[in-house]
Structure 1
Amino acid sequence: MGLKGWRVFAAATIFGILFLNGICFSEKAPNYSFLHEATSAPDVSFYDYIIVGGGTTGCPLAATLSQNYTVLLLERGCSPYGNPNITFLSTFGAALSDQSPSSPSQRFISEDGVISSRARVLGGGSCLNAGFYTRASTSYVTDMGWDGKLVNESYQWVEKKVAFEPPVRQWQSAVRDGLVEAGIRPYNGFTYDHLNGTKIGGTIFDQDGVRHTAADLLEYANPNGLTVLLHASVHKILFRTKGRSKPLAHGVIFRDASGIKHKAYLKRGAKNEVIVSAGALGSPQLLMLSGIGPENHLKEHKISVVYHQPFVGQGMSDNPMNAIYVPSPSPVELSLIQVVGITHFGSYIEAASGENFAGGSTSRDFGLFSPKIGQLSTLPPKQRTPEALSKAIDDMSKLDETAFRGGFILEKIMGPLSSGNLTLIKKNPNVNPSVTFNYFQEPEDLQRCVDGIKVIENIIESKPFSKFRYNDLPLPALLNLTASSPVNLLPKHRNASTSLEQFCKDTVMTIWHYHGGCQVNRVVDHDYKVLGLDNLRVIDGSTFNYSPGTNPQATVMMLGRYMGVRILNERLASELPN
């Protein structure tokens, strides 16, 4: 396929990586005797701990606390086990593209116009993501005030179940060597650690391409101490306020799949707690629905104010992602994120690739950059309408399979510094809140994107990458191909280089690393206790001021284990006789 063909490819807005159908593995689901549908729950029940959200933090937290106490884990979604769209690397993207009411992902569109997804499945985002596993930097651990020894032990606890070294084949190796040639040094080999330079990170996909999720960490649980309820949508946290200086959380109201209301209460005990681990959207949303948030906003929705907390929903950030598609004259392997370049200027470089065989079947509907999952970068964010997505998907179906041979090299920025806010739209917790991230509002974020794109140019033009590029497609042509309008079969800027600043703004997508809304020192303290209330904590990515490492899932899982151990140790110490 020549340059004209690639222009047609870009105009058709094909942001899809081809994935093989793969071998059908026989997945063996864990024998979780504690896993039940919420419809089986009693009208009223009592526990030492009630955890709202069975995601990347909630699962390790529940498994840890169940060793010594009774724990109720409430998950609004389904089980990941037995769903091939979750399990296999070869079908990555299928769960994200599924927009049925029973889908493990729930699409939302930020007020910025960028399309994203939130998990509704046991195991949370670890059931939907591209699988990259890497720890936070030592400076991040220090800044958070965490105990370094316990952090390392907690990471190792997670890694025994869910982390693996990926097989690095030709295309990923070319990106790796291109990064090193581009000056992103030193080369640190395979490591989970966050180190400046180029490295191979971990993955939650094993050698057979089978995904391992945070739900697998429930294998550590004491089955006699844990109850997990699926399709349990928590509508409200219950508080006692009469005669108290601080409102005290003492239970929750949740509804099952049939809409039947249930109440779960904390057993009598000064140390028992409700812990919210519902994610960066779900946690601030639930606090507001329960009367914890900005007073005026709660009153607008006729929600009784339990505690005026103006910072709930503030500090919402999402790491912007920008990618360049590189068509390849040679076949490339199927890969998700494996290599990362950690630059000194605050941009992270990663890559993913596809593969196809002439005459073979393709999974062109899916991929890290597919319009089917909302990743449409050929139009500026505000123009990514349902009609535009539909047209992109239709155009994609008409392309020759050779159009899918290639890969994407992406950059995401550290932090970011830009932030926005979250507000309620409805009182129904199953309806997405309104969220604004203000991508590139801070000039430093935009500059980091520009600098990252320049590194990508150096990778593409490097000697190690030469096998996987067309010589007649320099970076300006690739930028124009990536950002071409679907109504324009020729590049936008035929006689001039595309402005990198404008490219960053026009092609911004999510990498699903949004965070904030219940941040430390604003909504919770360093023990993740909600300020101004008793017996209530928030433990998840909503507490982050900025995203840890290049990809946060390892740290979010670690945090569940870390805080579970902290809570157990502190409580057991307090219960020892003098």
Structure 2
Amino acid sequence: MSFQILWLCRIILIVTFISHGSSFPDQVGYYSFMKDATFAPMFARFDYIVIGGGTSGCALAATLSQNATVLVLERGGSPHDTPTATDIGNFATTLSNTSPKSWSQLFVSEDGVYNTRARVLGGGSVLNAGFYTRAGDDYVKEADWMSDEVEAAYEWVEKKVAFKPPMLGWQTALKDGLLEVGEFPYNGFTYDHINGTKIGGTIFDDAGQRHTAANLLEYSNPNSIAVYLHATVHKILFTTKGRPRPKSYGVIFQDANGVLHKAELAKNTMNEVILSAGAIGSPQLLMLSGVGPMAHLVAHGIKPVVLDHPMVGQGMADNPMNAIFIPSPTSVEVSLIQVVGITKFDSYIEGASGVIFSYSWTRNFFDGVLNYLNEISRTTTSTSLSTQSITDFFKSINPLLNATIKAGLILQKVAGPVSRGHLELRNINPNDNPSVRFNYYQEAEDLEKCVEGISTIIKVINSKAFSKFKYPEATIHGLLDLIRSVPTNLRPRHATSVLNLKQFCIDTVMSIWHYHGGCQVGRVVDKNYKVLGIHGLRVIDGSTFLKSPGTNPQATIMMLGRYMGQKILRERDAFHNRNEET
């Protein structure tokens, strides 16, 4: 009987893959078109070369493959290699695993704030807290996107990755607490970005299994796409021969064995190289390829300088996050972001519960920090970071970090923000992190939003609706001191006897991993995401954003990949039709 059931399950699996239009998994990769880069030919030609199989790159490549040949070069591995690592209960462990071959690459900004970059097929959607929500109507209008096509693109994404969350006790208390303190109206379950309190979507299904941008590759035409994993692009290739401006024509990438491969665009005017390497990777790779501020490139010995493009790496921003940790007298469910209060003062209130912050998790993360600091000390003469802060941390581990099933946190994320920074090369190794400064709370406007957000969180914690999950004797000052005692960043702490929320925001700022900018629209790319001054090169990812969309950008980044993929194919068809007519 068990043998029959096994074969029935196998048949269902095969039918499922066929019905989704994707190829059945083989022994090399999850899809037949997915291979390790060591299997890549030394030379190949494609209509489109997509650098980065992340949140935007997967959607873009799957769409382009419907009517063109596409190469995807992803520097990391596949989330399908270790499926349980993406389960909701392993969120903290997977995110904090910063070993050299892990999916999460640690970087510390020059502000002294820990952050991560994804290096895995599916990008940040493999590591994040899973919240799924669209951009607001005003954002779509400002981006000059066609609203009906945006709607269709979101729906295309949602068929594969979006779900309604279960909403158990702790998240329900957060929702009710937000309403009790006046964050109206209540908008129920919706993907839309509208003021008030709502239940958003999640990319975790009912079983707690994560669905990522990599799942969008199920839409691909398997005969027209090649995805190479552990493929690190070293540079984009340009030609100026007989042209008034440079034209991209290919890339050089390296496999895990250190072998260099070359891929070029097939001979067609419409073919392009498309950067989808994220807000850190895209400006970094442009610079490494000779496109960026000339003086900076020359200082790093980059030759030739293809184009003096001073705005590459500028306009970097990261939405600052501050959180209050709340030990609970009763057990809580394991939940990531499900509820959000979208306030009128541009701070978003969200929460999570039951996420494991064990000693082993913390030790693993801070080992990564130490390794990172030791690495940058070898590649730069000065840094604003100090290993002493990490050493001090181990002398006084706080019991907070062992909290598992009886704790939650409520956070605020500043929308915008107005404060801006920049990105520069640290060296010319594409595997290393560049130097990034976000200038958190440099502008008073951002700091005021944080203060209002923390004030709202305090009201929620003290609300009747949330009382079940707060110890009666716990004071707000005590809870603020609790988070101050944890090394959430490398910044100094300023303990005060009075409730100084501005200082609390400055001292305890963290990243919510929504950093953006570096290749912004109107500054580095035009509204069609073509790099200004260069032919045959686009950037389609979060590096082009002037501000982060919605309360979480992942839905919009996936949508953008689909939206622009369809637009590019329409342009391609129109070009070919004109040529046929003439």
Rate the CA distance shift 1:48–1:401 in 2: closer, same or farther, 3 A.
closer
Residues 1:423 and 1:481: Cα distance change in structure 2 (over 3 Å) = same
The answer to whether the 8 A contact 1:96-1:373 is kept is no
Are the aligned partners of 2:322 and 2:505 in contact in 1 as well (CA < 8 Å)?
Answer: yes
- Structure 2: distance between partners of 1:355 and 1:298: 43
Which residue of structure 2 lines up, in the alignment, with residue 7 of structure 1? none
Specify the SS of the correspondent of 2:455.
helix
CA distance in 1, matches of 2:131, 2:269: 40
Distance in 1 separating the partners of 2:84 and 2:390: 21
Q: Which residue number in structure 2 is paired with residue 347 of structure 1?
A: 347
What residue number does 2:3 align with?
none
| Amino acid paired to 1:328 | S
User: How do 1:5-84 and structure 2 match up within 5 A?
Assistant: 30=25, 31-84=30-83
Kept after mapping to 1: 8 A contact 2:46/2:266: yes
Alpha-carbon distance in structure 2 between the residues aligned to 1:412 and 1:402: 23
State the match for 1:302 in structure 2: 301
Take 1:477 and 1:89, find their aligned partners in 2: how far apart are those partners? 30
The amino acid of 2:327's aligned partner reads P
For residue 260 of structure 1, what is the amino acid of its counterpart?
V
Structure with bigger RCO (C-alpha 8 Å, 6+ apart): 1
The alignment of Structure 1 onto Structure 2 pairs a total of residues equal to 535
Question: 2:254, 2:320 → 1: CA distance?
Answer: 35
Following the alignment from structure 1 to structure 2, what is the Cα–Cα distance between the partners of residues 355 and 420?
Answer: 31
In structure 1, the gaps of 5 or more residues are: 1-25, 357-361, 375-381
- Check conservation: 1:75, 1:231, Cα contact below 8 A: yes
| C-alpha distance in structure 2 between counterparts of 1:546 and 1:312, whole Å | 16
Matched AA of 1:222: N
Deviations 1:379-422 (A, max 9, x none): xxx99755544664675597796676211000010011101000
Distance 1:339 1:537, change over 3 A: same
- Work out whether residues 331 and 355 of structure 1, in 8 Å CA contact, stay in contact via their aligned partners in 2: no
Range 193-202 or range 401-410, more displaced: 401-410
Q: For residues 65-91 of structure 1, what are the alpha-carbon distances to aligned partners after superposition, in whole Å with 9 as ceiling and x for unaligned?
A: 000100000000111113146321011
Conserved? CA contact 1:484–1:492, under 8 Å: no
What RMSD over aligned residues (CA atoms) do the two structures have, in Å? 2.4
Stretch moving more, 468-477 or 535-544: 468-477
CA distance, structure 2, for counterparts of residue 440 and residue 77 of structure 1: 33
Query: What is the one-letter code of the residue matched to 1:326?
Result: I
- Mapped to 2, the partners of 1:403 and 1:159 lie a distance apart of 31
Q: Does structure 1 residue 439 correspond to structure 2 residue 440?
A: yes
SS in 2 for 1:50: strand
* Partner residue, 2:333: 333
The verdict on how the C-alpha distance between 1:370 and 1:101 changes in structure 2, with shifts beyond 3 A counting, is closer
Deviation at 1:474, TM superposition (A): 2.5
Question: Does the 8 Å CA contact 2:494/2:503 hold for their aligned counterparts?
Answer: no
Contact 1:327–1:403 (CA under 8 A) maintained in structure 2: no
Look up the SS of the partner of 1:561 in the other structure. helix
Q: What is the match of residue 505 of structure 1?
A: 506
TM-score, normalised relative to structure 2: 0.88
1:407 counterpart SS class: strand
Query: Residue 315 of structure 1 aligns to a residue in which SS?
Result: strand
Q: Deviations over 1:187-212 (max 9, x none)?
A: 10111100100001111000000000
Whether the 8 Å contact between 2:79 and 2:120 is mirrored in structure 1 is: yes
For 2:437 and 2:401, the matched residues in 1 are separated by: 38
- Kept in 2, the 8 Å contact 1:341–1:350? The answer is yes
Contact 1:372 / 1:389 at 8 angstroms: preserved in 2? no
Identical pairs, percent? 59
The structural deviation recorded for 1:302 is 1.2
Q: Distance in 1 between matches of 2:409 and 2:387?
A: 24
Is 2:406 aligned against 1:405?
Answer: yes
* Residue aligning to 1:15: none
1:286-301 correspondence runs (5 A):
286-301=285-300
2:231 aligned with 1:232, yes or no? yes
Match in the other structure for 1:260 = 259
1:426 alignment counterpart: 427
Q: 1:373 to 1:411 in 2, by over 3 A?
A: farther
Cα 1:457–1:102 shift into 2, 3 Å: same
Question: What is the CA–CA distance in structure 2 between the aligned matches of 1:393 and 1:205, rounded to whole Å?
Answer: 34
Cα distance between partner residues in 2 of 1:512 and 1:366: 19
In the alignment, which residue of structure 1 is the partner of 2:271?
272
- Cα offset for 1:112? 0.4
Which residues in structure 2 correspond to 1:129-528 (within 5 Å)?
A: 129-303=128-302, 304-354=304-354, 365-366=360-361, 385-386=386-387, 388-389=389-390, 392=393, 396=397, 405-484=406-485, 496-528=497-529
Relative to its length, the structure with more helix (as a share) is 2
Instruction: Select between 385-394 and 72-81 the one with higher mean Cα deviation.
Output: 385-394
